[in-house]
């Protein structure tokens, strides 16, 4: 599978990891979407692998998470407005 930049469609892509200090790989991170209900605390993070991609043409950086987990977080904890926009039903 050839990867292309989601923003500019260039195929000049490089894979890498995120460091939060020059010589310190970031510990495993979590993605928490915006638009959750105010008191949502538990089960609102989606685990991320430290595997990112960047585009040599436009500088876009991206990663991938489990979309099923993301949908679960949003279905369980998203605001009604957000769920309506994303067409998520419980």
Question: Could you say which of 11, 47, 57, 66 contacts Zn ion (CB under 5 A)?
Answer: 57
CA distance 23 to 2: 30
Query: Any residues with CB less than 8 A from the CB of 9 and at least 6 apart, and which?
Result: none
Residue 72, SS3? Answer: helix
Stretch that binds Zn ion, among 38-46, 51-59, 61-69, 73-81 (CB under 5 A): 51-59
Counting contacts by CB under 5 A, is residue 55 touching Zn ion?
yes
User: Closer CB to Zn ion, residue 55 or residue 74?
Assistant: 55
What does the block give as tokens for 20? 């939060």
The correct pick among 5, 46, 73, 74 for binding Zn ion (CB under 5 A) is 5
């Amino acid at each position: 599978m050839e990867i292309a930049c989601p923003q500019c469609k260039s195929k000049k892509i490089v894979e890498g990891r995120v460091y939060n200090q020059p010589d310190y790989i970031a510990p495993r991170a979590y993605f928490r979407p915006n638009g959750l209900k105010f008191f949502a605390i538990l089960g609102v993070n989606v685990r991320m692998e430290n595997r990112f991609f960047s585009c040599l043409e436009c500088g876009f950086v991206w990663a991938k998470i489990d979309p099923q987990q993301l949908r679960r977080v949003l279905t369980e904890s998203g605001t009604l407005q957000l769920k309506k926009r994303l067409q998520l039903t419980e």
